[in-house]
Amino acid sequence: MTRKEQKEERKQAILMTALTLFVERGYHETKITDIAEAVPMSTGLMFHYFASKEELLLELVRMGTMGPGSFGENVTVPPDVYMTMFLNTIFSFATEQPWVFYMFVLMAQVRRPGMPEEARKLAESVDAVAPTVKLIKKGQKDGIFHKGNAETMAIAFWASVQGIMEFRSINKDIKMPDPEWIVAMLK
């Protein structure tokens, strides 16, 4: 089935191209034509692979939901250690697989107002803030983390990670931070 494989590869190529453009220019500013041109293929053919621009986005978001969805499960080490390890893992993973950075940024973009409803809902469903709140509360109880509204702390924590990723997706040569000192903001 060379035919089917070809189709699958082509689909992946479209997805990766779209991911890059959505992140670099924004979803609404990326024309179907731009993606087609970059792949490259004709405009019409895009619709042979994806029913609509929105469906294409949705497919990307589905990919995005699969990666780090497991944050906060099976925590056997102290919260601060767990969080440091987790950041270490995604940072080093993303350094090898650059598209992971892009995916992070895309997911954040899709969670913002004005994005297609379905994709937005899906992206929100894998937001790591909620599990982080639990972890932080545990850490506070153990006296590892300082006092304060756990939700605020979780938001600030992920926002800084997000911010770094976002910057990195534009400025390829920024140095990634030491997970230690992002976690330090909670201590």
Partner DNA sequence: TTATTCATTGAATGTGAATTCAATATAATT
Partner DNA sequence: AATTATATTGAATTCACATTCAATGAATAA
> By CB under 8 A, is residue 177 in contact with a copy of itself?
yes
Q: Which of 139, 138, 131, 137 is nearest to 158 (CA)?
A: 131
> Residues 1-30 vs DNA: string with x where CB under 7 A?
-xx--xx--x-------------------x
Structure tokens at 126: 């894998």
> By CB under 7 A, is residue 95 in contact with DNA?
no
Give the other-Cβ count within 10 Å of 9's Cβ.
10
Which listed residue (7, 9, 25, 51) binds a copy of itself by CB under 8 A?
25
Taken in order 70, 74, 79, 84, the sign of the CA dihedral is: negative
Cβ proximity to DNA, 30 vs 84, nearer residue: 30
Which listed residue (28, 31, 48, 121) binds a copy of itself by CB under 8 A?
28
Binding footprint of a copy of itself, residue count (CB under 8 A): 42
Contact 61, 106 (CB under 8 A): yes
Q: Which positions from 147 through 166 interact with a copy of itself, judged by CB under 8 A? A: 148-149, 151-153, 155-164, 166
> By CB under 8 A, is residue 52 in contact with a copy of itself?
no
Q: Write the DSSP assignment of 63-109 as a string of letters.
A: HHHHSSTTTTSS--S-HHHHHHHHHHHHHHHHHHSTHHHHHHHHHHH
List contacts with a copy of itself (CB under 8 A). 23-30, 112-115, 146, 148-149, 151-153, 155-164, 166-167, 170, 174-178, 181-182, 184-187
